[in-house]
Amino acid sequence: MSPNKRITMHDHAAEAALFKRRALFTFICVFLLLCILFSNLYHLQVVSYKDYETRSNDNRIRVVPTPPSRGLIYDRHGVLLAENQPYYSLELIPEKVDDITATLDELNTFIELTEDERESITETLKFHRRFKPLTIKSKLTDEQVAIFSVNQYKFPGIYVEAGLKRHYPFNALMTHVLGYVGKINSRDKALLEKSSQWKNYAATKDIGKQGIEKFYESLLHGTPGHLEEEVNNRGRVIRTLKVTPPTPGQDIYLTLDLKLQQKAMELLDGRKGSVVAIDPRDGGVLAMISSPSYDPNPFVHGISSKAYNDLLNDKSRPLINRSTQGQYSPASTIKPHVALLGLEEKIINERTRIWDPGYWQMPGVDRKWGDWKKWGHGWVDIYHAIVDSCDIFFYDLVYKVGIDRMAIFMDRFGFGKSTGIDIFEESDGVMPSRDWKRMRYNQPWYNGDTISVGIGQGYWTTTPLQLANAVTIMANKGKRFTPHLLKSFKNSTVKIDSPIDEQVPIELKDPRNWDIINEAMRQTADKSRFTDATYTAAMKTGTAQVFSVAKDQKYNANTIAEHLRDNALVVAYAPYENPRIVLAVVLENAGWGGANAGPLARALLDEYILRDEWAVKP
């Protein structure tokens, strides 16, 4: 053996220990990895099973919401006022169309698109989500549907959709009561999202915009259903897995009487004005006319800008509901209420008489307030004051009563505040007071203001609905109801009457005062328009100045602009013994109330009281 050769000695014990340590480390690593693997498998297959199953189904199953049919609207006798009609529209999904402008140009060769429609599409696309369908043409005719169906292969991303759309068969007759439905816009969507109702409108394109349609949206809309469809990886439907039908909206019945409504519109004959009729037994509105009106049907499908601007700029203001938003001086129609206040405050009584020489002077003031009858009425008591509409009697009365007591008393009859009727479009009117004038004009109240207000002029304004409601309270001798339009509603099984909102009645110090005022109104009717009537009635007319005439000038309707002429008013109810209808009629710029509005009141009461259906009723 060479002395330089190194002999290596192996330490088998150390090598064995090293191997064991490495083997143990490797085993632990493999074990941990297997644990992680099995843990993930458990999490996927057991813990998150439902979640991943749902995700898988979402790729395979498509849930499509289906819109409910809107509830129908009827009058009190079951005549259909608002219905749903089938329609076809052309829909476009922006993300499936490469060049929308070119596509619309080509589509125009088959189905004409107006400039307004093209502009509307362009504007809407700026804010429209590309994966959601957009209506590009409403109200397709059967011929247009057939033409497009033949050429549909040329227009990927465009399709015909069938559905139901609101239709108002009586056109302009019911517009200011029913309102209309229209397309859901961004403002509607924001309100729905705020109220957590947006999910119920996932498949719905229209919503109530005004009137009954808006106020009772929750009843009329219904609940959407849905389809569960199995689709392939390209989104094509393979089969329908489940169908949940929508719940249609509830049908509603209104207190309106269609025949009376038609008669009122016929009598107005396009003139500017309003008619409101109320059933004093429950506060139900029998008729509500605002003239001129407009056809609501174009709003359902989307009215053109030109047509809407024409309505908006029309000097006769057809978009305004004169019955609930028109504010007029009540003129002499409120003299019965003022006289009732005088009786209550014991400033006058049934035997009180004053001398009317044709003018009245406030103590210590040189100015003379004239009567409509220049030579005066002579000696006048409360009956003659109301029957002959003697201004002097009421000048003297309100001067003694004062505006403070007057404002408080008239508030009880609903003047100066909304009636609470079940439509949103209602104005409060103005029942003036010292505080009101200070807040409105930053001026003090003068006695001369009280004199004007005392005959229903000056700052005092009221809506025809408020006026009808106040006369209803008078006819009911203090019994009060909230005016309402809903009579009943019907779900899938039963018809339910709407509850009647009876308010706290007005109680007088002497209940006989009701009889005195109502008797004076009966005498007014007997003297003027109802001398030959087969039923008894009560009424009061009024002529409201639109602008003031100078003291040394005489009012002459022929020499002033039409819009500055006096308004004609009348309130009436019948039968006198057991009232079934109360009327308030306003004719704008028509002149003398008794001569112009009076005949309308008589004709409407005849229509309602003498109708065949009442012949067998007590």
**Residues annotated catalytic, as ranges:** 332
What residues contact residue 12 under an 8 Å CB cut-off, 6+ apart?
none
Q: Is 12 annotated as a binding residue?
A: no
Tokens representing 345? 């405050």
CB 151 within 8 A of CB 110: yes
Phi, psi of 208 (to 5 degrees): -65, 130
Residue 194 exposed, middle or buried by CB count within 10 Å (0-12, 13-18, 19+): exposed
Please check whether residue 463 is in contact with residue 427, taking contact to mean a CB–CB distance below 8 angstroms: yes
CA dist 250 and 221 (Å) reads 8
Q: Is the dihedral of CA 602, 608, 611, 614 positive or negative?
A: negative
The H or E element that residue 118 is part of is helix 115-125
Q: Which two tokens stand for residue 601?
A: 């009141």
Distance CA 222, CA 474 (A): 40
d(CA 73, CA 488): 10
Asked if residue 305 lies in contact with residue 329, where contact means CB atoms within 8 angstroms, the answer is no
Which of 332, 338, 339, 327 shows the shortest CA–CA distance to 430? 327
Question: What contacts 300, CB < 8 A, 6 or more positions away?
Answer: 165, 166, 167, 180, 181, 182, 206
**DSSP per residue, 534-572:** SS--EEEEEEE-SSPPPTT----GGGS-GGGSPEEEEEE
Ramachandran sector of residue 235 (left: φ over 0; alpha: ψ -120 to 50; beta: rest): left
Q: Known binder of ligand: residue 356?
A: yes
- Backbone φ and ψ for 58, nearest 5 degrees, come out as -65, -30
CA 541 – CA 15 distance, rounded (Å) = 124
> Measured in Å, how far apart are the chain's first and last C-alpha atoms?
147
Contact criterion met (CB below 8 Å) for 583 and 276 = yes
3-state secondary structure 158-205: EEEEEEEEEECCCHHHHHHHHCCEEECCHHHHHHHHHCCCHHHHCCCC
How many beta carbons lie within 10 A of that of residue 110, not counting itself?
Answer: 14
Do the annotations mark residue 449 as ligand-binding? no
- Residue 371 is assigned to a ligand binding site: yes
CB atoms within 10 A of CB 279: 20
3-class DSSP state of 98: coil
Of 346, 373, 380, nearest in space to 520 by CA: 380
Q: Can you say which residues are annotated as belonging to the binding site for Zn(2+)?
A: 356, 371, 377, 390
Q: Can you say which residues are annotated as belonging to the binding site?
A: 356, 371, 377, 390
